[in-house]
Structure 1
């Protein structure tokens, strides 16, 4: 994330439910435990802005762009995030339920401890982002761009990664067994890790020729 140093405008416990706030630009503001339920935030631009424990249930965040901002432990239920971009932004500990994500670009963002159970994330870009300890159970990430993404500690039971680009991604050995990976793009070292996780003994060609 960028430089959050400096004084932020503090807004605590405000109710913005059903508010019409389209295409606004918010800079250096800190919203704590505010409600944005069913608010029209279409085209919102945020920079160096923090949301802590806020509720975005039913909100329209279509075509919103967020730069060096933070959504910490926020609730997103049936939120429309289509065509949005999160760049250098933290979503630490936030929960997403029945949200519309596609298309979506997440660039160098921190999604540590997020919950995206069963989310439709097909084709989403997660460029150089962190998904440590994220709950991705039953999520659909087919065709997603996960290059150089940190997936250590993520819960991946039933995760669909068919056709996804995993080159350079950092993963636990369990992912190679728990996730569906048909047609996924991996590097040679990852292919060896996949084979090893599934019980194969991978030996160098020199060892074979010596026998």
Structure 2
């Protein structure tokens, strides 16, 4: 399993739910629960809270999560195809060997989350706080990653080919360790990248 930010181990779960059919987590709180092989396809979750839970082989396909929280959770081999997160809190959560195709994230706080090596091709993240997130080896070709707070984030070996990065904090980006071919950035970001390359920017 991939390491969590700061090397913190996952919390020990205290109960298990298998084959969670007809799930409706809206307004409910779950703490230290292991969810195994559950199908949450097209679930509409409003305000559900998951604390230190582990999801193994769970299918979140086409589900929507609004004002929900997945704090310090662990997702292992989960499918998040076309999953939508709106104003959700995923602080400290780790994604390991998950599918993220067409995932859409708007607003919310994903600080200290871990997505090392994640395939975000075509995914959309807009206006999300991702401070000190582990995005090492991220594969984000043609992804939309706009207006993100990436201060302190780990971006080494990330592939942003064709990605839209406009408005995002690129202060920790080392252009010599990432792929930026055809990526879209704004003027302010161009100055940050130039400075990181050792160039002196003058009017």
Deviations 1:119-164 (A, max 9, x none): 0001211011111111111110111111111111111110111111
Residue 40 of structure 1: aligned partner: 39
Contact 1:173 1:197 in 2 (8 A): no
Residue 16 of structure 2: aligned partner: 15
Q: Does 1:81 align with 2:97?
A: no
The SS at the match of 1:106 is strand
Q: Separation in 2 of the partners of 1:126 and 1:109?
A: 10
Alpha-carbon deviation of 1:56?
A: 0.7
The SS at the match of 1:146 is strand
Q: Separation in 2 of the partners of 1:42 and 1:133?
A: 30
The SS at the match of 1:178 is coil
Q: Separation in 1 of the partners of 2:158 and 2:14?
A: 36
The SS at the match of 2:188 is helix
Alpha-carbon deviation of 1:74?
A: 0.8
Alpha-carbon deviation of 1:18?
A: 2.7
Alpha-carbon deviation of 1:201?
A: 1.8
Residue 140 of structure 1: aligned partner: 139
Aligned residues: 191
Superposed structure 1 runs of 4+ greater than 4 Å apart = none
Find the structure with the greater CA-based Rg.
1
Q: CA 1:157 to 1:106, structure 2 compared with 1: closer, same or farther past 3 Å? A: same
Q: Does 1:167 align with 2:166?
A: yes
Q: Separation in 2 of the partners of 1:44 and 1:203?
A: 53
TM-score by length of structure 1 reads 0.86
The SS at the match of 2:98 is coil
The SS at the match of 1:180 is coil
Residue 54 of structure 1: aligned partner: 53
Gaps of at least 5 residues in structure 1 are: 1-11, 205-211
Q: Separation in 1 of the partners of 2:163 and 2:154?
A: 17
Contact 1:157 1:179 in 2 (8 A): yes
Residue 9 of structure 1: aligned partner: none
Please give the root-mean-square deviation of Cα atoms over the aligned residues, in Å.
Answer: 1.5
Contact 1:163 1:184 in 2 (8 A): yes
Alpha-carbon deviation of 1:171?
A: 2.2
Alpha-carbon deviation of 1:175?
A: 3.7
Alpha-carbon deviation of 1:176?
A: 3.4
Residue 29 of structure 1: aligned partner: 28
Q: Separation in 1 of the partners of 2:111 and 2:139?
A: 18
TM-score by length of structure 2 reads 0.89
Deviations 1:38-81 (A, max 9, x none): 11111111111100011111011111100000001111010011
Q: Report which of the two has the higher share of strand.
A: 2
